[in-house]
Amino acid sequence: MKKSDVLDLIKYHYESKETEFRNQSIAIARNFDKHGDTQLAQYIMGMLSQSDRLAPQIENTSEYLTPAKLDIGPLPLPLPIMNDLKGIINAVNHNIGINKFLFVGAPGTGKTESVKQVTRLIGKELLVVDFSHLVDSKLGQTVKNLAALFNEINHLPFKQNYIILFDEIDSIVLDRVNQNDLREMGRVTSAFLKELDRLSPEIILIATTNLFENLDKAVTRRFDAIIDFDRYSDDDKVEVAVVILTELLKQFKNVARDLKLFKKIIYSSGTIPNPGDLRNLIRTSLAFSDPTDPHDYQKRLLRSLHNGRNLSISKLSKLGFTVREIEILTGISKSSVSRELSED
């Protein structure tokens, strides 16, 4: 390492050039590693990985791997799923070669967000496989790209600092015995199996899928643990909705915070959407709400959960809403609501 490297590092710090500072720090760490001082190199990279401001990143020249921004917001999950994620963190920290995990479940159940949270809690960087560059229509090219991808993964500097995410892995590993499967995709699946067996034990790999039943069984057997995200009860979903609402309400003023009514609205839908869909519905209802009406987002959310329909007073009553709550949701006075219900 040259004196100029240290001077540049100091200059980048005082000039608040974060990207240059980070890259120079990584270059210095690599230089220490190259000359045999691996412990100091790892210490520098560890400091970078623990800092939100200076998270280590690979040089953005990879064709197949893209660094992902890690979310720091709340991620409410059912207790069984939370316990499984804690188990993954423990397994990684034990460093005994348990390094391949598969997250399965319907869209919107929190699989990808959970990967980000696990990555953040372990203090690593997340690299996401870009399938748009990996999959190629030319015969045999996808297999070649897959080999190039895993070669890059296995030769990452400081492998222990990364988690690799194959999001929606069903894009490339279908069931080879399925009669509808294309012969080329069968070859891709076989190539993936071969590369997975060669994966460096220092690399943590997590894959997600919405189509677990369609995956080749030989692929699923290669993973050390499979985490099922389809374990939300209705009560779990409502509690998740409350956490989402509480977080989003911090951005709004003059908005009603009636959680009892909010919960009733969510329960009224019959089939409660998964958390990802709930987040979108709640966020949109708040964003579109009339700032002069504190309850407008509740009205909008109710309509969205019932396919855009305005529910009648009778229907709202049957769903368990009180006269006061029906007044809020319809704008009809309590006396008129009571009179209509008595006539029914």
Topology of domain 65-228 in CATH is: Rossmann fold (3.40.50)
- pLDDT at position 184 is 63
Please compute the mean of the pLDDT values over residues 313-336 and round it to a whole number. 95
Tell me the C-alpha distance between 193 and 191, whole Å: 5
- Give residue limits of the domains in the chain: 3-49, 65-228, 234-343
Write out the two tokens for 161: 């600092």
Q: Do 232 and 271 form a contact (C-beta atoms < 8 A)?
A: no
pLDDT digits (tens, 9 = 90+) for 67-88: 998 866 778 899 999 999 999 9
pLDDT per residue as tens digits for the range 41-58: 666 766 665 554 344 455
> How far is Cα 262 from Cα 242, in angstroms, rounded to an integer?
8
Residue 60: pLDDT over 70: no
Q: Looking at per-residue confidence, does 268 or 173 come out higher? A: 268
d(CA 206, CA 127): 10
Find the range with the poorest average confidence among 28-37, 209-218, 245-254, 335-344.
Answer: 28-37
Token pair recorded at residue 147? 């080999």
Specify which of 73-77, 134-138, 158-162, 324-328 reaches the highest per-range mean pLDDT: 324-328
Q: Could you give the CA distance from residue 217 to residue 102 in angstroms, rounded to a whole number?
A: 12
